[in-house]
DNA sequence: CGGGAACTTGATGCGCGTCAACTAGCGTGG
DNA sequence: CCACGCTAGTTGACGCGCATCAAGTTCCCG
């Protein structure tokens, strides 16, 4: 992401595809803190905070629209309902963060991975982008591991285990979890 | 917390003492998702969301002030800067959530506990309630464990280990971490 | 046909959970 | 006053879940 598209001056709307946000710890580990689907403004907090405490990254190919922050600020101050909608969206994101803290805290590998698959399925349903119980999850096993705090190797074994138990089925190009 | 003080109709300002928010998973594990010090409004999201996805609990004795949500709503809509201040506070909380996701994701026991102690110290400093490098942390080892996803037994061992290495010192009534 | 990224699978070891026993402190009631 | 019970903390033994290391297989793309 070059200087012209700097997310400190532009808000980014994800039009198609997927993106995620992550932090890098001092020892080089990457922790994915949120996943974003089409239709979401993926750096809402830039409207209110100057500093960025994490990084944005696209999952596979995606298209975005950039809106200058100054324009969005004018909009929300002129239209209180839009302002409120953005705030509520942020609150919902905070709720998802809390859920992730719980997910990474106590659960074992099967539960963590099942949770992230289910969350993805529910959000895909809400957007109407599932195909009859088939979901397109464009994350590598390493990325899943970075989201739930497991190594790619163990993610692999756990997915196999879920698969063997008939809880999920995977297709070639991507994965297709079913409840 | 009885019906009269219901946090679905009142906002709670922590005047003195400490409080935390937690979620209970289906298997009975408790995950603490945030800690609150004196001076903070501890259920800001109630201004915007009806549902409460987690629980509030006091750490030891504390005093609070209750403000009807309707009154706060009137205030923030009448005074945009106050509105904005609340939003920014929420964004900062979201940032702390992201940090906790990272903390619980990859770090080992020593790093997790050191992080929560340091976060507590920094926030205490910001409030000016430290006493020359001495901090009063009113959490039991079990609560620390519930915050970072470790058992009380292992928190105990890890604190001992940090103590033996001279990284922290503990006094009788509570703990006194030093950087 | 070569090379790299993602996935797969096995062997080994350690960090942390679990179980259990014990101590210390503190409030309550006899 | 001491007996009692409860909560928090402490320590040891043992086992499992997951990390780590390593080798290999696909599969895509040049």
For residue B1, pLDDT beyond 80:
no
How far is the alpha carbon of A15 from chain B, nearest alpha carbon, in Å? 24
The answer to whether the Cβ–Cβ distance between A45 and B100 falls below 8 Å is: no
Indicate the pTM of the whole model.
0.90
Residue-wise pLDDT tens digits, B40-61: 999 999 999 988 999 999 887 7
Question: Which of B101, B116, B119, B154 would you mutate first to test chain A, the one with the most A CBs within 10 A?
Answer: B101
Are residues B15 and B127 in contact, defined by beta-carbon separation less than 8 angstroms?
no
Please give the average per-residue pLDDT across A74-96, as a whole number: 94
A33 to chain B: which residues are within 8 Å by CB?
A: 98, 101-102
| pLDDT attached to residue B30 | 93
Mean pLDDT of chain B, nearest integer: 88
Name the nearest CA neighbour of B94 among A87, A71, A27: A87
Please give the average per-residue pLDDT across B108-117, as a whole number: 96
Helix/strand/coil (H/E/C) assignment for every residue in chain B: CCHHHCCCCEEEEEEEEEEEEEEECCCCCEEEEEEECCCCECCHHHHCCCCCCCEEEEEEEEEEEEEEHHHHHHHHHHCHHHHHHHHHHHHHHHHHHHHHHHHHHHCCHHHHHHHHHHHHHHHHHHHCCCCCCCCCCCCCHHHHHHHHCCCHHHHHHHHHHHHHCCCEEECCCCEEECC
What's the CA A112/C1' D17 distance, rounded, in angstroms? 14
B107 to chain A: which residues are within 8 Å by CB?
A: 25
Strands (E), A3-158: 10-24, 30-36, 55-68
A48 to chain B: which residues are within 8 Å by CB?
A: 84, 87-88, 91
B122 Cβ contacts chain D strand, under 7 Å: no
| pLDDT attached to residue A114 | 96
| pLDDT attached to residue B172 | 56
For residue B175, pLDDT beyond 50:
no
Residue-wise pLDDT tens digits, B64-78: 999 999 999 999 999
Strand partners for A36:
A19
Confidence of residue B3 (pLDDT cuts 50, 70, 90): very low
For residue A8, pLDDT beyond 50:
yes
B49 to chain A: which residues are within 8 Å by CB?
A: 88, 91-92, 95
Please give the average per-residue pLDDT across B9-16, as a whole number: 92
Give chain A residues 122-151 with Cβ within 7 A of strand C.
140-142
pLDDT, greater one: A138 or B142: B142
Q: Give strand letter and number of the nucleotide nearest B108 (CA to C1').
A: C15
Which residue's alpha carbon is at the shortest distance from the C1' of C16? B154
Residue-wise pLDDT tens digits, A34-53: 999 999 999 999 999 988 99
Q: Give strand letter and number of the nucleotide nearest A108 (CA to C1').
A: D17
The answer to whether the Cβ–Cβ distance between A101 and B104 falls below 8 Å is: yes
pLDDT, greater one: B74 or A5: B74
For residue A2, pLDDT beyond 70:
no
Residue-wise pLDDT tens digits, A156-177: 999 999 999 888 887 755 434 4
**Facing A48 at nearest CB: one of B49, B54, B88:** B88
Number of A to B CB contacts under 8 A, please give it: 102
Domains of chain B, start order: 1-93 (2.60.120.10), 107-179 (1.10.10.10)
Strand D positions within 7 A of protein Cβ atoms? 7-13, 17-22, 28
**Facing A87 at nearest CB: one of B23, B48, B107:** B48
The answer to whether the Cβ–Cβ distance between A90 and B90 falls below 8 Å is: yes
Residue-wise pLDDT tens digits, B81-96: 999 999 999 999 999 9
The answer to whether the Cβ–Cβ distance between B94 and A97 falls below 8 Å is: yes
């Amino acid at each position: 992401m070059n200087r012209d598209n700097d997310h400190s001056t532009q808000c980014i709307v994800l039009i198609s595809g997927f993106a995620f946000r992550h932090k890098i710890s001092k020892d080089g580990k990457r922790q994915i803190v949120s996943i974003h689907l089409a239709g979401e403004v993926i750096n809402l907090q830039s409207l209110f905070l100057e500093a960025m405490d994490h990084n944005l990254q696209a999952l596979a190919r995606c298209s975005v629209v950039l809106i200058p922050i100054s324009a969005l600020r004018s909009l929300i101050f002129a239209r209180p309902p839009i302002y409120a909608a953005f705030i509520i969206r942020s609150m919902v994101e905070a709720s998802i963060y809390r859920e992730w803290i719980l997910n990474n805290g106590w659960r074992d590998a099967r539960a963590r991975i099942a949770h992230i698959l289910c969350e993805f399925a529910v959000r895909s349903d809400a957007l109407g982008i599932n195909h009859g119980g088939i979901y397109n999850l464009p994350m590598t096993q390493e990325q899943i591991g970075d989201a739930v705090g497991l190594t790619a190797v163990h993610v692999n074994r756990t997915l196999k285990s879920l698969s063997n138990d008939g809880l999920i089925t995977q297709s070639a190009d991507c994965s297709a979890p079913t409840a």
